[in-house]
Amino acid sequence: MKNSLTRTFQKYLRSLNRWFSNTPERALLEAYQAAQRIKNIENEHFDNKKISLQSVKYTENVMSYWQVYLNKNLTIIKIRLAEFQLSRGIVNISNSVLLEKLKVIDEVVEKYAIKDEVINHTPLVSTYQPLNINDNEIKKQLKSSDINDTQVNTPIQKTRPPKSFIGRRINKIQADFAPQTEEEFVRNYRLSKGRTIIALRFLIVLILVPLLTQSLSKEFIVSPILERVRGDNVTRVFLNSDMEKEALHELHSFQEGLRFEYLLNQAPSLSSEIVQEKIKSKAVEISEEFYRKTNSNISNIFADLISLFSFGIVIAMSKREIVILKSFMDTIVSGLSDSAKAFLIILFTDIFVGFHSPDGWEVLLAGFAEHLGLPASRNVIFFFIATFPVILNTIFKYWIFRYLSRLSPSALATLKEMDE
């Protein structure tokens, strides 16, 4: 049994080593295929030009279809190139064909530099030139008008708008009537829409990737390996003393239930051998249940580590998406009213560092300990509650004092009024 398990494990390691050794070529091949798909679309539908409205005049729906197809393949290229660079630093390969594929990929990536503009949130440069107005000309026009010929009282003269303000207004009107204004508005709208889509998509990825990784790795990788390693050895049923106490309490309740049914004459009299057989059967059932629970808790530890590693990879490969998400969240927060900001701040502080927060922290820590199969030590939990919320409250007060007073003084004033 042990030799068979060793051979199976060695076979699994060899297959895993082959898969990892082929990772650079596989990742580069997928990026190359995505680049070839983009070039095929250019040749077939855009006269061998860039996929854009400037190349061929399509309707909005048709262009939207090609844009989604383009973004999908550019995303594949980005992910696979990052995978190629990461694995290339570990696995040494040398092939002249790789250089040809990289050349094709670089041509496609450089051609669609508009992706960097969407990601980097670069400001748009206006293509029109605003009308330059000299203050002297404005003064001459005002002197020649009928308004200046009229005698005006002193209070009205004090409220007269400055000449520079009038110049800016005229420049703004001239810019609004420029022929390129509509085109720039549409371009700004598309870039803003693209940033929003990228931010929401990245937020969904941050949530789904760790959850799916944890569930799938536990179900198909960690649990099968753990079951083979432990086998049918049931000597180590309980992972900690709390699980043993829970099992003994359940068995004791079963014994008391048999006795209770007998005393109420709802069950026939049983001999001691039959009673012992039932208790033994129940003990075996409980041991199998807690054996599976122990396997599940141990699997959770390794699956959580794999999930955390996958989350770190997503963060490391998505620096630009993080910038877009931060800008997206800043836009949402800045769009809230002062009362809404103060309400959210009070809600957050009351949940995590408020008067009722110790009960919530105790439930979270006990559930986390049970998830990992650790004993829920009340001393550790109470020590955590006595220190961490205090540190969190100090950091939050410093943030209010240091940054909120500068970013939104009115929100700070509203927060103080609501808190009082």
Residue 270 domain flag = yes
pLDDT at 342 over 80: yes
Across the chain, which distance is largest between two alpha carbons, in Å? 122
| pLDDT of 210 | 92
pLDDT at 281 over 80: yes
pLDDT at 349 over 80: yes
Residue 203's nearest CA partner among 100, 329, 367 is 329
> Could you give the angle at which helices 2-21 and 23-45 cross, rounded to 10 degrees?
40
Mean pLDDT of 342-363: 84
Domain endpoint, select from 278, 293, 319: 319
Q: CA-to-CA distance for 51 and 232, rounded, in angstroms?
A: 61
Q: Which of 31-45, 73-87, 312-326, 367-381 has the lowest mean pLDDT?
A: 73-87
Residue of 56 and 361 predicted with greater confidence: 361
The pLDDT tens digits for 28-72 are: 888 888 888 888 888 888 877 888 777 777 777 777 777 878 888
Q: What is the CA radius of gyration of the chain?
A: 34
CB hemisphere CA count around 86 (13 angstroms): 13
Mean pLDDT of 270-279: 79
Cα dihedral 180, 183, 185, 189, rounded to 10, equals -160
Residues 301 and 344 reside in one and the same domain = no
Residue of 23 and 253 predicted with greater confidence: 253
Q: Which of 53-62, 253-262, 375-384 has the lowest mean pLDDT?
A: 53-62
Residue 379 domain flag = yes
Range of the domain at 406: 336-419
For 41-51, letters b (16+ CB in 10 Å) and e give ebeeebeeeeb
Mean pLDDT of 340-364: 85
Phi, psi of 236 (to 5 degrees): -105, 80
Residue 304 domain flag = yes
| pLDDT of 309 | 93
The pLDDT tens digits for 288-311 are: 888 888 888 889 999 999 999 999
* Range picked from 96-100, 113-117, 136-140 for highest mean pLDDT: 96-100
Q: CA-to-CA distance for 5 and 13, rounded, in angstroms?
A: 12
Residues 311 and 353 reside in one and the same domain = no
Number of domains in the chain: 3
Residue of 259 and 128 predicted with greater confidence: 259
pLDDT at 237 over 80: no
The pLDDT tens digits for 62-72 are: 777 778 788 88
Proportion of the chain above pLDDT 70, given as a percent: 72
Residues 228 and 304 reside in one and the same domain = yes
Residues 341 and 288 reside in one and the same domain = no
Residue 181 domain flag = no
Cβ–Cβ under 8 Å, residues 309 and 278 = no
> Would you place residue 88 in the very low, low, confident or very high pLDDT band (cuts 50, 70, 90)?
low
Residue 160 domain flag = yes
Residues 314 and 341 reside in one and the same domain = no
Residue 104 domain flag = no
Residues 314 and 345 reside in one and the same domain = no
The pLDDT tens digits for 238-251 are: 777 788 888 888 88
Mean pLDDT of 84-90: 69
* Range picked from 79-83, 92-96, 184-188 for highest mean pLDDT: 79-83
Mean pLDDT of 342-352: 85
Residues 298 and 344 reside in one and the same domain = no
Q: CA-to-CA distance for 197 and 93, rounded, in angstroms?
A: 37
Residues 270 and 309 reside in one and the same domain = yes
Domain endpoint, select from 268, 293, 319: 319
Residues 295 and 255 reside in one and the same domain = yes
The strand ranges marked E within 84-136 are none
Q: What is the mean pLDDT of the chain?
A: 76
Q: CA-to-CA distance for 62 and 9, rounded, in angstroms?
A: 52
pLDDT at 116 over 70: no
Sequence-distant (6+) residues with CB within 8 A of 29 are: 101
Residues 274 and 248 reside in one and the same domain = yes
Q: Exposed, middle or buried: residue 299 (CB in 10 Å: 0-12, 13-18, 19+)?
A: buried
Residue of 210 and 228 predicted with greater confidence: 210
Mean pLDDT of 223-230: 84
Residues 278 and 232 reside in one and the same domain = yes
> Would you place residue 313 in the very low, low, confident or very high pLDDT band (cuts 50, 70, 90)?
very high
| pLDDT of 159 | 47
Q: CA-to-CA distance for 121 and 333, rounded, in angstroms?
A: 18
Residue 274 domain flag = yes
Domain endpoint, select from 145, 176, 207: 176
Residues 271 and 241 reside in one and the same domain = yes
Q: CA-to-CA distance for 296 and 223, rounded, in angstroms?
A: 7
* Range picked from 1-10, 95-104, 164-173, 275-284 for highest mean pLDDT: 275-284
Residue 215 domain flag = no
Q: Which amino acid is at 242?
A: D
Mean pLDDT of 117-139: 42
| pLDDT of 207 | 93
